[in-house]
């Protein structure tokens, strides 16, 4: 059947769809979709939800977690219905990215705006992954130092900057980026999902152990105090931003849905997967947020594992931080795929992504060298 569309709204032709289907078979199931979603949403940010709950208090904190869970699930249901076009059940066109969906439903101009926002967001995620990974590596080294020297020891391993650890992370990503289809491997999402659940369980267990030792719940209804009303309002908005940032997976929902086999209809499987995934992430968010606040009260650290709320058992804290590093190493490859593909398409050379990595790393090397030279000059 021939389908004629405007150039402005043309996304994928039936011929393109058939060709792509013959090249890459869709074999995804409910549980692979759940694994992909969990990999995307349950990240290291879950460990900062205790701080967010502490700023909001015992009523507003849990209420905000539930509210954002409902909004996330509703948006996932609406987007799942947009995967096939023009008919939501039979298509025949499949939209395999958020930008494509915006183009076909809202037009080319909106796609340009949306694409810019999406790619900026993805690059922001990649920057955050790099910083958090470096912070976790530094936390592992400092935890071992505190265990050897005592909790009051001066263990300053790159407190002023994380350039060296970022450099190691960048070198590793250059190596992984050369593995064909690394970001599409099913085991990558499964391993990342296991890592995210592992360090979340460890964080929850450490908080629960602290509550049992103290035999009381910390915190209050209004949350931790601030210097003045303006500062309190700012902290509340920061807390709401942390929660809002932790939930949504709208940017990757079409890519996940495009891996699902049919029958049953992809949208049905995606809605079930979204329900299961949101339930799981809400459970973990509640446990990390509420148990963390109950354990520390007004002194809740910004991150349960890297903020040194726990020093012992040091090996368990080290293992949890190592799980975060492994999770983010794989997650970086998945997130950086789309910006990297865009650069490749718009560039004359296919190695644009590698050169981008190299330029960033050379910049880090330069900064690290300057920092080291200045430090040696002061010491001399």
Q: Name the DSSP letter for residue 260.
A: B
Q: Kindly write down the DSSP assignment for every residue of 173-232, as one continuous string.
A: HHHHTTSTTGGG-HHHHHHHHHHHHHHHHHHHHHHHHHHHHHTS----TT-S--SSHHHH
28 forms beta bridges with 260
- Summarize pLDDT for 128-142 with one digit per residue, the tens: 788 888 888 888 888
CA 78, CA 170: separation in Å to the nearest integer?
37
% the chain with pLDDT above 70: 75
Is residue 351 in some structural domain? no
How much is the pLDDT for 348?
44
- Environment class of residue 300 by beta-carbon count within 10 Å: exposed (0-12), middle (13-18) or buried (19+)? buried
Is residue 222 in some structural domain? yes
Neighbours of 67 (CB within 10 A): 15
**For 257-264, what is the mean pLDDT?**
81
- Summarize pLDDT for 157-204 with one digit per residue, the tens: 655 567 778 888 888 877 877 776 655 566 777 777 788 888 888 888
Is residue 61 in some structural domain? yes
- CA separation, residue 276 to residues 30, 202, 269 (Å): 9, 22, 11
- CA separation, residue 300 to residues 53, 146, 315 (Å): 9, 20, 22
Q: Nearest to residue 249, comparing CAs of 274, 226, 221, 268?
A: 274
Is residue 346 in some structural domain? no
Is residue 168 in some structural domain? yes
Q: Nearest to residue 41, comparing CAs of 79, 73, 78, 82?
A: 73
What six digits make up the tokens of 256? 């996940």
% the chain with pLDDT above 90: 7
For residue 213, give its domain range.
14-335
What six digits make up the tokens of 203? 């964080």
- CA separation, residue 210 to residues 78, 112, 295 (Å): 41, 50, 6
Q: Name the DSSP letter for residue 265.
A: P
**What kind and span of H or E run contains 51?**
helix 49-80
Is residue 305 in some structural domain? yes
Assign residue 147 the CATH number of its domain.
1.20.1740.10
Is residue 314 in some structural domain? yes
- Summarize pLDDT for 12-34 with one digit per residue, the tens: 444 444 434 433 567 778 888 88
With beta carbons less than 8 A apart as the criterion, state whether 325 and 168 touch: no
* Biggest CA-to-CA distance, the chain: 78
Q: What rounded mean pLDDT belongs to the chain?
A: 76
Q: Which residue has the higher pLDDT, 5 or 88?
A: 88
With beta carbons less than 8 A apart as the criterion, state whether 322 and 84 touch: no
Is residue 169 in some structural domain? yes
Domain count, the chain: 1
How much is the pLDDT for 44?
65
CA 94, CA 257: separation in Å to the nearest integer?
10
């Amino acid at each position: 059947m021939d389908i004629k569309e405007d150039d402005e709204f043309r996304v994928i032709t039936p011929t393109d769809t058939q060709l792509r289907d013959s090249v890459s078979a869709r074999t995804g199931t409910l549980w692979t979709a759940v694994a992909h979603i969990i990999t995307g949403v349950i990240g290291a940010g879950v460990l900062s939800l205790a701080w967010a709950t502490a700023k909001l208090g015992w009523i507003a904190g849990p209420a905000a977690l539930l509210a954002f869970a409902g909004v996330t699930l509703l948006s996932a249901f609406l987007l799942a219905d947009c995967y096939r076009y023009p008919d939501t059940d039979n298509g025949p066109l499949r939209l395999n990215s958020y930008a494509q969906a915006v183009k076909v439903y809202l037009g080319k101009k909106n796609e340009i705006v949306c694409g810019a926002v999406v790619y900026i967001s993805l690059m922001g995620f990649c920057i955050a992954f790099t910083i958090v990974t470096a912070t976790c590596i530094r936390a592992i080294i400092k935890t071992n130092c505190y265990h050897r020297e005592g909790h009051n020891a001066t263990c300053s391993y790159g407190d002023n900057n994380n350039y060296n650890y970022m450099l190691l992370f960048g070198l590793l990503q250059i190596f992984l980026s050369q593995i064909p289809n690394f970001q599409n491997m099913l085991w990558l999402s499964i391993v990342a999902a296991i890592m995210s659940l592992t360090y979340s369980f460890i964080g929850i267990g450490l908080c629960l152990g602290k509550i049992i030792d103290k035999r009381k719940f910390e915190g209050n209804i209004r949350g931790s105090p601030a210097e003045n009303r303006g500062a309190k309002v700012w902290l509340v908005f920061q807390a709401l931003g942390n929660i809002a940032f932790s939930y949504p997976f709208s940017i990757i929902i079409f890519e996940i849905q495009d891996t699902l086999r049919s029958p049953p209809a992809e949208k049905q499987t995606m809605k079930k997967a979204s329900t299961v995934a949101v339930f799981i992430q809400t459970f973990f968010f509640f446990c990390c947020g509420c148990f963390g606040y109950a354990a520390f009260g007004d002194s809740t650290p910004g991150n349960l594992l890297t903020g040194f709320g726990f020093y012992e058992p040091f090996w368990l804290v080290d293992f949890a931080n190592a799980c975060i590093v492994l999770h983010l190493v794989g997650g970086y490859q998945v997130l950086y795929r789309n910006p990297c593909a865009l650069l490749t398409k718009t560039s004359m050379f296919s190695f644009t992504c590698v050169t981008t990595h190299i330029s960033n790393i050379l910049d880090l090397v330069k900064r690290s060298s300057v920092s080291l030279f200045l430090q040696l000059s002061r010491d001399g």
